[in-house]
Amino acid sequence: MAKTSQAAGLHRASLAKLHELDAALELMYYGWRGMTLKADAYLAKQGLSRPHHRILYVVARRPDIAIGALIEILGISKQALNRPLNLLLERKLLTSKRSPEQHRSKLLRLTEAGRRIEQRASDHERQALREAFERVGASGAAGWMGVMEAIADNN
Amino acid sequence: MAKTSQAAGLHRASLAKLHELDAALELMYYGWRGMTLKADAYLAKQGLSRPHHRILYVVARRPDIAIGALIEILGISKQALNRPLNLLLERKLLTSKRSPEQHRSKLLRLTEAGRRIEQRASDHERQALREAFERVGASGAAGWMGVMEAIADNN
DNA sequence: GCCTCATGTCAACTATATTGACTTGAGGAT
DNA sequence: ATCCTCAAGTCAATATAGTTGACATGAGGC
Contact criterion met (CB below 8 Å) for B139 and A139: yes
Place A12 in a pLDDT band, splitting at 50, 70 and 90: confident
B91 domain residue, yes or no: yes
Q: pLDDT band for position A101 (50/70/90)?
A: low
Is A130 among the domain residues? yes
pLDDT-above-90 percentage for chain A: 83
- Whether pLDDT at A69 is above 70: yes
Query: Which phi and psi angles does B151 have, rounded to 5°?
Result: -70, -40
Mean pLDDT, range A46-61, rounded to an integer: 97
For residue B51, say whether its CB is under 7 Å from any atom of strand D.
yes
CA neighbor of A85 nearest in space, from B26, A93, A75 = A93
Number of domains in chain A: 1
Is strand D less than 7 A from the beta carbon of B85?
no
pLDDT digits (tens, 9 = 90+) for B123-152: 999 999 999 999 999 999 999 999 999 999
User: What's the rounded Cα separation, in Å, for the pair B48 and B41?
Assistant: 9
Nearest to A35 by CA among A23, A47, A45, A27: A27
B88: CATH? 1.10.10.10
Does residue B9 form part of some domain? Answer: no
Long-range contacts of A90-97 (CB under 8 A, 24+ apart): A93/A56, A93/A117, A94/A55, A94/A56, A94/A59, A96/A67
Please tell me which of the candidates A61, A136, A146 has its beta carbon nearest to residue B146.
A136
In a domain, A84, yes or no: yes
Q: Which domain holds residue B42?
A: 22-152
**Spatial separation of the C-alpha atoms in residues A145 and A24, rounded to whole Å:** 15
* pLDDT (tens digit per residue) in B9-47: 556 778 999 999 999 999 999 999 999 999 999 999 999
What nucleotides of chain C have any atom within 7 angstroms of a protein Cβ? 5-12, 14-21, 25-27
* B49 within a domain of the structure (yes/no): yes
Per-residue confidence (pLDDT) for residue B121, from 0 to 100 = 98
Residues 6+ positions from B76 with CB-CB distance below 8 Å? A6, A8
